[in-house]
Amino acid sequence: MALKATIYKADLNIANMDVHQYGDFQLTMALHPSETIERLMVRVLAFARFADERLEFTKDLFETDEPALWEKDLTGQLVKWIEVGLPDEDKVKKASARCSEVAVIAYGSAVAEWYKRSSKLKTLKNVQVWQLSEATTAAVQALCERTMQLQLNVMDGEWTLIGDNAQAVIEWTQLQ
């Protein structure tokens, strides 16, 4: 019998004073049986970085040709494609031809080596690559609960994600 996904819910309140973006988002995410809590929380951070009412989580690990998140316009056309982890550069290149904006949220100890080997990515003008520090991904795991109340505060480039029992400073590095 196949294992089923575990559903997580997060009420995410964003107060980004740097770009004057404020909003409340009710997120529902399926944790694939092979997925870690770290990756689940990185998906939450990816949502927070590109927050929009049309941004949505996809089937991702259940459907390998889909990203972790995407945004479609009102006609159903893909506008934004967001990968989480260290994706194959051919998949990112294909996405960059389909969408006006592509982003990769990379994390883990192998990011530097992956980015160094991904020479095709550096030629794509509509692709952003963001790296999360290992300290960040470790800290955000402490915020994870099946039902989460999260507050994200951004001011002067400093990101702080606050949960009921802990908080984490989010360290982003833009590689591209």
Any idea where the domains of the chain sit in the sequence?
A: 8-174
Three-class SS string for 30-65? Answer: EECCCCCHHHHHHHHHHHHHCCCCCEEECCCCCCCC
DSSP per-residue codes, 66-124: S-SEEEE-TTS-EEEEEEESS--HHHHHHHHHH-SEEEEEEESTTHHHHHHH-TTGGG-
**C-alpha to C-alpha distance for 99 and 117, rounded to whole angstroms:** 23
Q: Can you give the pLDDT at residue 16?
A: 95
Residue 53 tokens, joined: 């009412």
Look at the alpha carbons of 61, 65, 67, 70 in this order and tell me if their dihedral is positive or negative: negative
Identify the bridge partners of residue 149 per DSSP, sorted by sequence position. Answer: 11
C-alpha triplet 23, 25, 30: angle, nearest 5° = 155
**Residue 2: pLDDT band with limits 50, 70, 90:** low
Q: Summarize pLDDT for 98-157 with one digit per residue, the tens.
A: 999 999 999 999 999 999 999 888 999 999 999 999 999 999 999 999 999 999 999 999
Pairing of β 69-72 and β 55-57: antiparallel
**C-alpha to C-alpha distance for 107 and 114, rounded to whole angstroms:** 10
Q: Can you give the pLDDT at residue 65?
A: 75
Whether 30 shows a pLDDT value over 80: the answer reads yes
Say which CATH topology domain 8-174 has: Restriction endonuclease-like alpha-beta roll fold (3.10.640)
Q: Can you give the pLDDT at residue 97?
A: 92
Whole-model pTM: value is 0.92
80 burial via Cβ count (<10 Å: 0-12, 13-18, 19+): buried
